[in-house]
Amino acid sequence: MERSELISKVNSVLAEEFEVEESVITPDANIKETLQLDSLSLVDMVALIENTFGVKIVGSDMPKIQTFGILYDYLAERMK
Amino acid sequence: MERRVVITGMGIYSCLGKTLDEVRDSLYTGKSGIIFDPARKEMGFRSALTAKLDIPDLKGELSRSQRVYMPEEAKYAYVATRDALKQAQLDQDYLNTHEVGLLYGNDSSADAVVKSVDIMREKKDTTLVGSGAIFQSMNSTVTMNLGCLFKLKGINLTVSGACASGSHAIGLGALLIRDGLQDIVVCGGAQEVNPFSIGSFDGISAFSVRENEPTKASRPFDRDRDGLVPGGGAATVIIESYESAVKRGAPILGEILSYGFSANGDHISSPNVEGPSRSLQMAIKRSGLDIKEIGYVNAHATSTHVGDANEAKAIAAVFGDHKPEVTSTKGQTGHEMWMAGASEVIYSMLMMKNDFIAANLNFENPDEDSMHLNIPAERVSKHFDVFLSNSFGFGGTNSTLIVKNL
């Protein structure tokens, strides 16, 4: 998957599931704040990513993934 | 000092309608809410009959983070409770600043359990079950969801008493108010309608197989009944101390005069006569009424052979020479199970407020037990001021409520 395609897909599935405008999802935006995630809905984001891209975000990696840009990189690295 | 307990709000989401007016009209015209569901046949059901109900779309009304914890029965209960609170003139400011309780009947949340277990088995990864599964799967899902959505701060628990759950919830709420422990309790019952929730019930041959005539399948007290038809939805009844209702200027719709209860201590599925009789007698005694003041009996009768017969025997024995109209609204709705005790209070209230008794749908021929009751096959125009509502459940749990018009 091309990076631009990956970014587009990530943005659309997250925007749809968490009911935010796609335009608020930018590389530097904080994921939890933008999607208004708490500790429970964070689990839903991890499940959504795994179901959509086949990439499991392990628990120890989660604290490092603060922004959408980092998430794109994380997924791109594991989908090579 | 015992306090009077009144009804100040009602809300319902049922196969007979989504508003009180729609349900009243359905009762009046004798509409059936029963259909044949081909999907159940494909799943191997012996009977594909069910009540028809759409799951409310709450997107736009509740946020994603609120909806994700709600199984279908909680969505039904939310809509019913929202409407009941509105009728009772209880706004969010009041709920935020007063201790309003919540007792709701529910006894399963099978769909959520089945779906999450399916994911665990297939994916072998519990994360993929998602955050909503645990809250959707618990038996108390309705009360945990409603309590958080409406910010209720009084007693909060689910009453699981099989098919008497909704009735017991109202009865127990009334006792809390009567004893001064709560001023207002949101009571009710909810029932999921999906196939997973009742497949095992179908498996014990409890359901009618009159699949070629869905609207004639549920026929309480009729000689040719062959089993119940599963239904569902939710019904909410706001009960309140008389003093609180007057102080608030709330509409006072009726008064819960008494709650009777008993257990059969007998067979797990076959009801007897003695247990329900004691529930009836307890309610009548505690109401302080002369039995002749009871103008209508809303029977539990689910359209099963033994259940209807034994209830008919119990009613005939307890009421003796007094023969008020006895009907089961399940001819129209099917058996709303965990919801039934609450919905049938609302059905009876709507009839009492509008001076009619809905026909006992599909009652064409009495049997040797129902012949001793006054069961109208057609709608009756009648003013009455007191009704008695029975609800019985698996395990032999029995509940009886007596309600007076105000």
**Which pLDDT value is given to residue B120?**
96
Contacts 24+ apart (CB under 8 A), A33-41: A34/A68, A36/B65, A38/B65, A40/B65, A40/B131, A41/B64, A41/B65, A41/B68, A41/B131
Give A38's contacts in chain B (Cβ within 8 Å): 65
Q: Is A25 helix (H, G, I), strand (E, B) or coil?
A: coil
Give the integer Cα–Cα distance in Å for B113 and B105: 18
pLDDT digits (tens, 9 = 90+) for B71-117: 999 999 999 999 999 999 999 999 999 999 999 999 999 999 999 99
Q: B233 with B298, same domain?
A: no
Q: Is residue B264 part of a domain?
A: yes
The pTM of the full predicted model, rounded to 2 decimals, is 0.97
Of B59, B63, B128, Cβ closest to residue A47: B128
Mutate to test the interface with A, among B59, B62, B65 (most CBs of A within 10 A): B65
Q: Do B65 and A51 touch (CB under 8 A)?
A: no
Considering B15, B168, B187, B335, which one is annotated as catalytic? B335
Q: Is the pLDDT of residue B1 over 90?
A: no
| Residues B22-31, mean pLDDT to the nearest whole number | 98
| B15 noted as active-site residue | no
Interchain CB distance below 8 Å, A56 and B68: no
Mean pLDDT by groups of 10 residues along chain A of 80 residues: 94 98 98 96 96 94 96 95
Does a structural domain hold residue B44? Answer: yes
Residues of chain A in Cβ contact (below 8 Å) with chain B: 17-19, 36, 38, 40-41, 43-44, 46-47, 50-51, 56
> Residue B96 sits in a domain of what CATH number?
3.40.47.10
Q: Which residues of B touch A54 (CB under 8 A)?
A: none
CB-CB under 8 Å, B130 with A44:
yes
Fold of the domain built from segment(s) A3-78: 1.10.1200
**Which of B59, B63, B130 lies closest to A43 in CB terms?**
B130
Q: Please check whether residues B17 and B146 belong to one and the same domain.
A: yes
B153 and B217 together in one domain: yes
Contact A19 B64 (CB under 8 A): yes
pLDDT value of residue A52? 97
Same domain, B360 and B279: yes
Q: Domain ends where: B222, B248, B274?
A: B248
- Each residue's pLDDT tens digit, B332-367: 999 999 999 999 999 999 999 999 999 999 999 999
At a CB cut-off of 8 Å and minimum separation 6, what does A1 contact? A9, A79
Amino acid present at B168: H
Residue B113 lies in a domain: yes
Q: What is the mean pLDDT of chain B?
A: 97
Residue of B nearest to A47 (CA): B128
Check residue A1 and give its pLDDT: 81
Domain count, chain B: 2
Q: Residue B192: count other Cβ atoms within 10 Å of its Cβ.
A: 32
Cβ-based contacts of A40 with chain B (< 8 Å): 65, 131
Please check whether residues B155 and B288 belong to one and the same domain: no
Same-domain status, B222 and B276 = no
* Amino acid letter for position B80: A
pLDDT digits (tens, 9 = 90+) for B118-177: 999 999 999 999 999 999 999 999 999 999 999 999 999 999 999 999 999 999 999 999
Q: Are residues B62 and B29 in the same domain?
A: yes
Domain ranges of chain A: 3-78
B64 lies in the same domain as B91 = yes
Distance CA B182, CA B205 (A): 42
**B19, two tokens:** 């508003």
Q: Give the closest of A41, A46, A47 to B65, CB-based.
A: A41
Contact B128 A19 (CB under 8 A): no
Nearest CA in chain B to A58: B127
- Work out the pLDDT band at B2, boundaries 50, 70, 90: confident
Residue B253 lies in a domain: no
Is the same domain home to B244 and B270? no
Same-domain check for residues B282 and B226: no
Q: Are residues B170 and B306 in the same domain?
A: no
According to DSSP, the residues that pair with B5 across neighbouring strands are B241
| Cβ pairs bridging A and B (under 8 Å) | 31
Query: Which residues of chain B lie closer than 8 angstroms to A19, CB-CB?
Result: 59, 63-64
- State which residues form the domain around B311: 258-405
A33 is written with which tokens?
């704040």
Note the pLDDT of residue A73: 97
Cβ contacts of B272 within 8 Å, gap of 6 or more: B264, B266, B310, B396
Domain assignment present for residue B41? The answer is yes
Check whether residue B69 and residue B45 sit in a common domain. Answer: yes
What residues in A contact B127, CB-CB < 8 Å? 43, 46-47, 50, 56
ipTM rounded to 2 decimals: 0.91
Choosing from B98, B148, B163, B372, which is the catalytic residue?
B163
Question: Where residue B327 falls among pLDDT bands split at 50, 70, 90?
Answer: very high
**Three-class HEC string of chain B:** CCCCEEEEEEEEEECCECCHHHHHHHHHHCCCCEEECHHHHHCCCCCCEEECCCCCCCECCECHHHHCCCCHHHHHHHHHHHHHHHHCCCCHHHHHHCCEEEEEECCCCHHHHHHHHHHHHHHCCHHHHCCHHHHHHCCCHHHHHHHHHCCCCCCEEEECECECHHHHHHHHHHHHHHCCCCCEEEEEEEECCCHHHHHHHHHCCCECCCCCCHHHHCCCCECCCCCECECCEEEEEEEEEHHHHHHHCCCCCEEEEEEEEEECCCCCCCCCCHHHHHHHHHHHHHHCCCHHHCCEEECCCCCCHHHHHHHHHHHHHHHCCCCCEEECCHHHHCECHHHHHHHHHHHHHHHHHCCEECCCCCCCCECCCHHHCECCCCCEECCCCEEEEEEEECCCEEEEEEEEEC
Give B37-54 pLDDT, tens digit per residue.
999 999 999 999 999 999
Interface test with B, best of A18, A19, A57 (most B CBs within 10 A): A19
Residue of A nearest to B129 (CA): A47
pLDDT of the residue at B78: 98
Tell me how close the Cα of A52 comes to any Cα of chain B, in angstroms. 11
